[in-house]
Amino acid sequence: MAECEARYALPSERSGDVGQASWELEGGSDADVFRAAMRRMVGGVTVIATRHEGRPWGMTVSAFTPVCMDPPTLLVCVNSRTVTASDILRDGRFAVNLLSQAQLHVSQLCSSAGSDKYVDDHVVPAALLPGRVVMPILRDSIVSFDCKVAEARPVGSHNVVIATIESILAPTSRRPLLYGEGKYLRGVGIDDFAALEGA
């Protein structure tokens, strides 16, 4: 992408119309405009799990991405004023759980501002986990990563946390829970959709 520049024509340009482009969103470095713009991104729902006061605790986050494959490394961004950020900095450990459609209620619990986010009833019992896994793993996740902090640095209101992956757990394939445009979504594969239309 960096090697070639592409200019995408607006609908008015493609049709030969001359005039002003019409933007639903337009702004510079305005936090509210940026927030509204990011709501348009559709992605999987991710819950960070830590231990808080000895109990499993979860927080839904929107900023999660792989960093590299060798060694397996990921990045999450966590509001520095949250319990989760304090737990991560204290212990240097956390788990990342990518949620399935069966976990909508877990995402809602872990994203409610100002309330307790204990997830005791939603974790896999320790006896059923490999011995190397130390952080809470949420039941029914499509994949979970047990992570160790490699680097954490403050950027604005958040801590950017880079972590190496200590363990990966993925059960039988499940449908992912998606979020975009301010609501939960279900994904449908393009091939599956085409097959349904042709039926």
Q: What is the mean pLDDT of each run of 10 residues along the chain (199 residues)?
A: 41 53 74 72 89 96 92 95 96 97 96 92 95 96 97 95 96 91 81 67
Sign of the CA dihedral running 73, 71, 167, 135: negative
Question: What was the pLDDT predicted at 12?
Answer: 46
Token pair of 176 as six digits: 């992912």
Question: What was the pLDDT predicted at 175?
Answer: 93
Question: What was the pLDDT predicted at 57?
Answer: 98
How many CA atoms within 13 Å lie on the side-chain side of 23?
Answer: 6
Spatial CA neighbour of 123 closest among 149, 95, 90? 95
Question: What was the pLDDT predicted at 19?
Answer: 62
